[in-house]
Copies of this chain bind each other. A is one copy, B any other.
Amino acid sequence: MPNQDLPLIAELCTAVGAAHVLRDGDLVAYERDWRKRWHGRALAVVRPGSTAEVAAVMRLCARHGVAVVPQGGNTSLVGGSVPDDSGTQVLLNLGRLHRVRSIDAANLTMTVEAGCVLQAAQAAAEAAGLLLPLSLAAEGSCTIGGNLSTNAGGTQVLRYGNARELCLGLEVVTPSGDIWEGLSGLRKDNTGYDLRHLYIGSEGTLGVITAAVMRLYPQPAASMTALAACASVEQCVALLQLAQARAAASLTGFEVMSDCALSLVRKHFPQIPQPLPPAAWTVLLEVSDAESADHARTVFEGLLEAALEAGAITDAAVASSVAQSRSMWHLRESISMAQAEEGLNIKHDIALPVSRIPAFVASTDAALEQAFPGARLVNFGHLGDGNLHYNVQVPVGGSPAEFLARHEHAVNTLVYDAVQAHGGSISAEHGIGALKRDELAQRKSPVALTLMRSIKQALDPGQRMNPGRMLDTASITATDP
């Protein structure tokens, strides 16, 4: 409907300035996600410069009945932040709302705009001598608004919680263009329904987050990591319990890596040191200590000694320097790249009660091996949060493209059936987006889906916010190659 659009475009230009309403030229950075798996075409890419401008854009889109796709750093892993290919949706990019509005050291909070890149927010907190403990692989590109709209997880959830737990207040623009000013920064506030938690994790389907108050923490005096070798998942869980009892809240990381995962790193990145000999499972532990590096080392040594005595681990190595700690994290973070080097694979971002993980892994590994002989389980993740990246790599020598074409759906069904049987989640930290929308409709309880649809209908009656994401209220046409 290009002709009918013209009034809206002209009005958008008036609202935010013509330079910030993009229709021509190379818009691929906006219309295609970073992994190049999802792409669409926008009616226009609109880049407002203030909350008031966001509200003006939303009012205009409401008046014209035009759908809006909010976008932060465009690093969604589930096709949540690009338009469909109809050419009728306004892509609302928050990139110009990137200020850290304020830091309140005595309240341990920062107020930051949605388009602020996570790393920039971390840096601002650090410059004030404080810690913003949200940390994840995409932190150099992803934004606070995207982190909150997807309730991002990452590597320190064990201690500090998900993005949700780190947020004390929001500023949100509603589909009709009203501004809810909820930037309270309060740790206690029982005055009605918790709108904040409703918008967090709603993936842009209820409104647009424009700013947030984030919780900060004192910087720890020292952080230290260790690696431990375990013979089984049961041992990993036993080690976790010991570590939680002995290190309590100073335990800030507990990541597991299967030997298959580390063998891919050895193959593709042989230069990365692997301090321990291969074991069925290698655990990366991190302790962040309020006292000193010496105290952190004492805690680690006591813990690992107790774990050896209890038979929870077979070997361990404590980092002897900050550089060694970084190198251990580098090992963990290289698994995804090593997988990519090895070729196409099938990713699962699942969560389970920690107590169910040993049984889940044993039975699901076996079922996959039986159904797809030779398929490799590249299993790693945030065991402390019950979150596994339970990925399936094509059998050695097989054609990845062919395997995926033939088996991806069946592999997903097998894995998600098992997740469901063990009381787990098919999306631990990546969200639903377009990728898992139909899976969600199949697997979430009908009562929960009905409640969610009622809420969507109540807060976005025109069904114009990020249509086709999360809930099946519209069909998304962007293609997943």
With A191-B440, A386-B107, A455-B458 known as contacts, the answer to whether A424 contacts B178 (CB < 8 A) is no
A152 to chain B, nearest CB (A): 9
Stretch of A8-16, A26-34, A347-355 on the interface side? A347-355
Of the candidates B189, B198, B351, B355, the one whose C-beta lies within 8 Å of that of A194 is B198
Q: Is A200 an interface residue (CB 8 A)?
A: yes
**Chain A 246-266, CB within 8 Å of chain B: the 1/0 string?**
111110000000000000000
Q: Which residues of B contact A220 (CB under 8 A)?
A: 248
- Given contacts A165-B165, A248-B249, A458-B458, whether A192 and B428 have CB atoms under 8 Å apart is no
Q: Which residues of B contact A187 (CB under 8 A)?
A: 157, 351, 385-387
Contact between chains at A192 and B432 (CB < 8 Å): yes
- Name which residue of chain B comes closest to A151, CB basis: B190
Q: With an 8 A cutoff between CB atoms, is A427 at the interface?
A: yes
Of A120-128, A267-275, A441-449, the one touching chain B = A441-449
Give the nearest-CB partner of A430 in chain B. Answer: B190
Least CB separation from A251: chain B residue: B290
The reply to whether the CB of A371 lies closer than 8 angstroms to some CB of chain B is: no
- Considering the chains assembled together, what is the distance between the CA atoms of A439 and B403 in angstroms? 63
A190 to B458, CA, bound (A): 21
A residues 204-263 with Cβ under 8 Å of B? 206, 217-218, 220, 237, 241, 244-250
| Complex Cα gap A445–B356 (Å) | 44
**Interface residue? A426 (CB, 8 A):** yes
- On whether the beta carbons of A188 and B386 are closer than 8 Å, the reply is yes
Which of A108, A448, A449, A450 is the most central at the interface, judged by chain B CB atoms within 10 Å of its CB? A448
Question: Could you tell me the distance between the alpha carbons of A250 and B469 in the complex, rounded to whole angstroms?
Answer: 41
Within 8 A of B (CB), among A385-442: 385-387, 423-432, 436, 440
A145 proximal to B (CB < 8 A) = no
Cβ of A475 < 8 Å from any Cβ of B? no
Q: Can you offer 24 A-B residue contacts whose CB atoms are under 8 A?
A: A106-B241, A106-B354, A106-B355, A107-B355, A150-B190, A182-B445, A185-B353, A188-B382, A188-B428, A190-B201, A190-B428, A190-B432, A191-B426, A191-B427, A192-B471, A193-B206, A218-B244, A218-B245, A245-B290, A248-B250, A248-B290, A250-B290, A454-B458, A458-B458
9 shortest A-B CB distances, which residue pairs? Answer: A249-B249, A197-B197, A458-B458, A106-B355, A248-B290, A188-B428, A189-B425, A218-B245, A454-B458
6 other A-B residue contacts (CB within 8 Å) besides A151-B194, A157-B187, A250-B290: A107-B356, A180-B448, A186-B352, A190-B429, A190-B430, A455-B459
